[in-house]
Amino acid sequence: MGWILAILFAVSAVLFIMSMAKARSHAKDEHREVEMVHLSLMDEINSLKDSIRNVELDMEILEKESGIQLSMAEKQFKREVLDLYRRNYSIESIAGKKQVSVSQIQDILAPYMAEKNERSKVAGGNE
């Protein structure tokens, strides 16, 4: 009876050691996987930062080339108006939201509205 208990104890110790080794191996694999995801995410973030930097430089070049100088508040206002327009808000609702006249909003959006109408004409002409 003592031999059976000793054998069972030895087998359980071996199984315990094997499970610990397997768990450690599994943890290392998970750690490697998390590290790879982290690295790929960092690469994407760096790529996005580079793209944003390029867009900002392009905007600065265009501003200098065109000679248009807008204050930060004017840029922000126009950006918000254009964003609302592109999200399909009506001109009247944009004017109400920004507390300006409809004609001011139309003046701001005029270049973008012409561009949108030209696109729809081209798309309609291909049918």
The answer, yes or no, to whether residue 122 has pLDDT greater than 80, is no
Q: Is the pLDDT of residue 61 over 90?
A: no
Strands (E), 57-123: none
pLDDT tens profile 88-99: 999 999 999 999
Q: Which residue has the tokens 């012409």?
A: 114
pLDDT band at residue 42 using 50, 70 and 90 as cut-offs? very high
pLDDT at 70: 79
Which two structure tokens, joined as six digits, stand for 67? 């000679």
Q: What is the mean pLDDT of residues 78-88?
A: 91
What is the model's pLDDT at position 35?
96
CA distance 92 to 4: 89
pLDDT band with cut points at 50, 70 and 90 for residue 127: very low
Instruction: Say how far apart CA 14 and CA 5 lie, in whole Å.
Output: 14
Q: Which pLDDT score, from 0 to 100, does residue 124 have?
A: 54
**Which tens digit of pLDDT belongs to each residue from 6-40?**
899 899 999 999 999 999 999 999 999 999 999 99
Residue 121: count other Cβ atoms within 10 Å of its Cβ.
Answer: 10
pTM, rounded to two decimals:
0.53
What whole-number distance in Å separates Cα of residue 32 and Cα of residue 73? 47
